[in-house]
Amino acid sequence: MTVRLEADEPAAGYERLVELARRERALLEAGDLDGLEEVARERDETVALLPAQAPAAVRELLLELRRTLAESERLLTARRAHVAAELAATRQGRALARSYGSGSRPRRLDATV
């Protein structure tokens, strides 16, 4: 999807950024990490079309954008902690499984005794 902004709508790009931030947050809440790549691409395209200095008229949009992105960051941080815990449990399980085979080999019983 190619992003286009109307010249007579200076807030349109900032509204689009808020919309994308909300979509990103929804994807994170749903655990849909695959969808984040498309959102990031659209965000990059939108930001490239914005002026270097945001107009004062979009201040409230920028504040909402900041709040939404902070929520997404909290979700990502929690997700990362969850994944790290899963990886640690997997490593511990593998180490435990390997330890079962590292002991001394059982002796064969001699049936002739």
What local confidence, expressed as pLDDT, does residue 28 receive? Answer: 94
Mean pLDDT of 9-14: 88
- In terms of phi and psi (left: phi > 0; alpha: psi -120 to 50; beta: otherwise), the region of 108 is beta
What local confidence, expressed as pLDDT, does residue 111 receive? Answer: 66
What local confidence, expressed as pLDDT, does residue 55 receive? Answer: 94
What local confidence, expressed as pLDDT, does residue 98 receive? Answer: 74
What local confidence, expressed as pLDDT, does residue 100 receive? Answer: 76
How does pLDDT run across 34-88, given as a tens digit for each residue? 999 999 999 999 999 999 999 999 999 999 999 999 999 999 999 889 888 888 8
Listing DSSP states for the chain in one string gives ------TT-TTHHHHHHHHHHHHHHHHHHHT-GGGHHHHHHHHHHHHHHS-SS--GGGHHHHHHHHHHHHHHHHHHHHHHHHHHHHHHHHHHHHHHHHHHTSSPPPPPPPTT-
How does pLDDT run across 15-25, given as a tens digit for each residue? 999 999 999 99
Domains of the chain are 12-97 (1.20.58)
